[in-house]
Structure 1
């Protein structure tokens, strides 16, 4: 998150809390009605539903399947919006303030979460970090071809530095050595500044703390997220804990079936690598013994450097990759450029960070989109 965005978000909190406080009702208020004369009478009502706010689409899908009819589940990030760098509005924060439960992925996906939750006055709000307890990947941990490239460049720089040091020690006069060392230090400082500028321009994922948040794209890890959500809902409404468990069990059975289908699909595939637009599929790749080769980093808005583009093009040519994957919600231009360069086609591999209006209208959900991803991967891995 950029500093200016943080500052703007911070300025909204005071007004938001006032709005939230004015609009908040107690449970007793919700179960009474006014007679018009300042008196209230009890109102017979059905089982009170939990008010659950969730950060973005996968959290909605998982939560809704666990909650069933026992909660009203509302997604904070609107449909069709890319959630990585999205900012909540004052109305969103007010809605969170009034909620019983807040469900979010964590692992740096919701860059606003700490600042927002730290400003809330709702002490009874139950916060569920769905990725809690999952072994998280560092950004780039699963990107082997880039790591090899970076290692080679580092070794080259190290050898160059050793040569320069040896040369400095070979000088006969101390004043000449001192002058050269001074020049070397000056050059090193300039080089460090240039590297820092290049790193900033390359758009490294500092906003996500270096962690890969895309755990939901592994069906096996999605199971763990569902269990965390079940526990949070049971804490909020312990009287419905058994129903939440039954709902979670039924949904997890679908996730486990999906997991088995992914395992079967990659067992005998011709290749194990695939190129995708941004590094969203590291957990899926690790789970099923595949290698993700991302064009850019963890954020889909990150623009790859010329060196990154060249590295992916070289990889595609060397390994005869026939499909370059792009995704919904962001431009496919970069993937199309690489595909054109290497004579490959493009196809969708959906990170399911949000559904488009068209997908919603077609009745798509997490399971059906993941099955589309599975079919797309099967084709690409067997070309």
Structure 2
């Protein structure tokens, strides 16, 4: 406990220093705040899925700034002084919660006392999974820093519907004058997400095989909501290392259950997935947790819905 408290104090000290640096940087350069708009609601999001929701619902009345750059895995990202400065001058800061952003508590404490920034965890209202796939309702007593909690809520379209409503409510709270426009944009988005949910429910419900082997334990909500059985090489964090025995057990599972593909994701090394696939004499296939876009996906105009549609097709291919 003493070690944990010392670590927390150090983290808070670091955020104080970052806040001080942000003030200096703001005085020397406008690069940190150059993305901010004077005539729109400025929304800062912690990672891509929330950027997508805020952009779609906010439309022309929101200026949405995503903290995590294109091509960067959000588990590996941490905020810089310019990020704190940008957020402090915005109207909204939307983050996932459920333990995804390990930096969020210290980040919020580092904000200036006079900031008018509204903040919220967009996973509120979703029944969360812990690392052992046990469910519990998120409430005010829940520790978002609990490493046992599965933070990958957005990977299920059902969860994204809940998150979309949370984003809409936050936008209206920050900018009530455009409630009608935000609500109209929200309804259009909900139509797409409900169609996606219906496709997943119908098509995955029709397959006989249910086992998926993934490199990163990011598909628990998708598995729960659409009747799949997720087995993962690595844990909730994509940089966790499996034991040799874990790989052997998975190879055995693959052979005994007729699994044809090992899924990997694009923002994380595919080495372990390929190693397991070679060991079990099967192939690899992409299953994207939609934590962020690659440069290529961004250039192609891909978004949450198109990537989740591709995921569905790959799931159907693997589960034939």
Q: 1:157-188, CA deviations, whole angstroms, 9 ceiling, x for partnerless residues?
A: xxxxxxxxxxxxxxxxxxxxxxxxxxxxxxxx
Q: 2:132 aligns with which of 116, 140, 159?
A: 140
CA distance in 1, matches of 2:308, 2:208: 21
Q: Which residue of 1 aligns with 2:94?
A: 103
Deviation at 1:12, TM superposition (A): 3.4
Q: Distance in 2 between matches of 1:7 and 1:49?
A: 32
Q: CA separation in 2, counterparts of 1:240 and 1:20?
A: 33
Question: Residue by residue, what CA displacement relative to the aligned partner does 1:67-117 show, whole Å, maximum 9, x if unpaired?
Answer: 000011010010000001311111111111111100111111111111011
Which deviates more, 107-116 or 300-309? 300-309
Secondary structure class of the residue paired with 1:81: coil
Is the helix fraction higher in 1 or 2?
1
Matched, 1:304 2:242: yes
Aligned to 1:61: 52
Q: Say if 2:73 and 2:291, in contact at 8 Å, map to a contact too.
A: yes
Q: Is the 8 A contact 1:17 1:120 kept in 2?
A: no
One of 4, 15, 22 as aligned partner of 2:20: 15
Q: How far apart in 2 are the matches of 1:212 and 1:11?
A: 29
Q: 1:304 to 1:84 in 2, by over 3 A?
A: same
1:130 maps to which of 100, 116, 122: 122
The residue correspondences of 1:154-303 to structure 2 (distance < 5 A) are 208-303=146-241
2:259 pairs, out of 321, 329, 332, with 321
Deviation at 1:141, TM superposition (A): 1.4
Deviation at 1:228, TM superposition (A): 0.3
For structure 1, the 5+ residue unaligned runs are 26-45, 143-205
Question: For this pair of structures, how many residues does the alignment match?
Answer: 298
Do the aligned residues in 2 keep the contact of 1:258 with 1:371 (CA within 8 Å)?
yes
TM-score after normalising by structure 1:
0.73
CA drift at 1:312: 1.1
Please list every run of 5 or more consecutive structure 2 residues that lacks an aligned counterpart in the other structure: 31-36, 135-143
CA contact (8 A) 2:98 2:149 kept: yes
- Give the superposed CA RMSD: 2.4
Change (3 A) 1:253 1:47: farther
Q: Answer with 1 or 2: which has the greater Rg.
A: 1
Question: What is the aligned partner in structure 1 of residue 138 from structure 2?
Answer: none
Query: 2: distance between equivalents of 1:280 and 1:208?
Result: 16
- Paired with 1:8 and 1:378, the residues of 2 have a C-alpha distance of 50
SS in 2 for 1:136: strand
CA distance in 2, matches of 1:97, 1:130: 19
Distance 2:11 2:307 in 1: 33
Contact kept? 1:281, 1:292, Cα under 8 Å = yes
Match of 2:290 in 1: 352
Question: Cα deviations across residues 33-63 of structure 1 (Å, max 9, x unaligned)?
Answer: xxxxxxxxxxxxx992011111111110011
The ranges of structure 1 where at least 4 consecutive aligned residues each deviate by more than 3 angstroms after the TM superposition are 3-9, 19-25
TM-score (norm 2): 0.87
Q: Does 1:338 align with 2:276?
A: yes
